[in-house]
Structure 1
Amino acid sequence: MQTPIDMTVILLTYVFFAVYAGPQLMANRKPLRLNAAMIIYNLSMVLFNAYIVYEFLMSGWATTFTWRCDLIDLSSTPQSLRMVRVAWMFYISKYIELLDTVFFVLRKKQNQITFLHVFHHSVMPWSWWWGVALTPAGGMGSFHAMVNSAVHVIMYFYYGLSAAGPRFQKYLWWKKHMTAIQLIQFILVSVHITQYYFMEKCDYQFPLWIHLIWMYGVFFFVLFSHFWVQAYIRGKRLPASKSTKEMNGPTQDAVTVVANGVHVGNGHVPQHSNGKIFMAKVKEI
């Protein structure tokens, strides 16, 4: 927290790895099987985010806050310092979440690394450095962090089940609703922060954060709405195109993995470990 230079270098390196260096590194390599690591990672993130939500609640949101014009506590009371601590924990969690992209790259799921994915993962920690550095006990400005952590408890639980293997696929019927939960998140954040503009008086110490949070909520609502339309209305989520299958292989949605390790697609076409499905045939690599 001494300077923004370190975190800016980390995030620029992340973007470079996600869009260029990582795909180049894996171009001539087989995708790694990281199921065990992903299960541990995702379940750890469930617990970590749940703890962050609890700390936000105990730091004011379930104790002394009014959920309206809650000011920044500039004192050194135990509750204020508790808010500072959980704000820093939330900030650090954004760097841990960069591993989401690392797993995508190493598993050659480059089609999952969209503009929305990279932008969201890089902008959040960058912007939160300023929030933690300047206003760590953020008052009403910390609401979106608490909601975001609550959403991530659900999200990483879903990812953990998904990584656990085919026997858990029947429990993932609510995949479509994950995006809906994200949209609800941005609606809640936008509605809460919009109160500021209709209050007769609110002496929040850093009004700039209010404006930025409002723009953040609206902007990401638009981006995730676009994703929703493309994925579930127009049906363009992970299209079964030649380019996608050649680059990444079939997705779990289109493939069932049986006990002997052979992948069986919708057309019951076997895909062995040294081949990829291409136009209903096994293409050797």
Structure 2
Amino acid sequence: MSSLNVLLHKEWRENVRTFKLFWIPIVFVIFGVIEPITNHFLPEIMKSVGNLPEGAEFTWPEFRGEDIFISLIGQYQLIGILIIILAFMGSISGERKTGTATLLYVRPMSFGHYFISKWVVVNAIVLASVWLGFMAAWYYIRILFNPVAVGEVFAFLGIYSLWLVFAVTVVLAFSAWLSTGATAGLSIFILLIFQVIDGVVGAYWTVTPWKLSTYASSAFGAPVDQSAYWMSIGLTVILIVLLVLFGMYMAKRNAAKTLV
């Protein structure tokens, strides 16, 4: 376990040095603050700049705090996932390309520990950032809208966190397998474009990791097929484990491609 601890410290220092530990949480918190404030003041903004005819009235839907949480997921599903891909697509492939990995590979190191150290640190940064964003949103939701039950919020975040772990695992596994550019392209297809495809034709299947962001809303009382919900969670966990094993294997297999 000593080698794993060394690698964990190495990854932590690397993310501090590249400022990912700071700017990623800031971005998620900013979006978390903007979402409730924008939705609260949007009717007034529309009235002032909407150029409506005199006497015309525009009825704006009345949002609940739960609606703001679900709306914020929409922001994180696009911009947040894109940030994760761009920030970590070179986590392993980048070290091979620059030759940095050579300093690690010449040492008696477990490639399993190597991949797991990155997986743990990246997930810690991503989950902490997203949770901070939702906590910031929750604070303003309580002020501007209605209080949302603590249990519902944490159930909501727990389900969505599993999707984020899946997204991180996809990016790191592809980084161990492919070049940085190919990792970015394939990750965008799997995590973003396929998400759109699932939204369009996903009515024909209900058991998939891409449904987790939708199933998260069930924490606020939205109707959901419980069997599909739990099967999606189980399938996502299995895919995460398989992707971690695949990432370990590809990190070891592609070690010979490291530039010296």
Mark yes or no: TM-score above 0.5.
no
Bin for the TM-score computed over the shorter chain: 0.3 to 0.5
TM-score normalised by length of structure 1? 0.32
Q: Whose RCO is larger (CA < 8 A, sep 6+)? A: 2
Which structure shows the bigger proportion of residues in helix conformation? 2
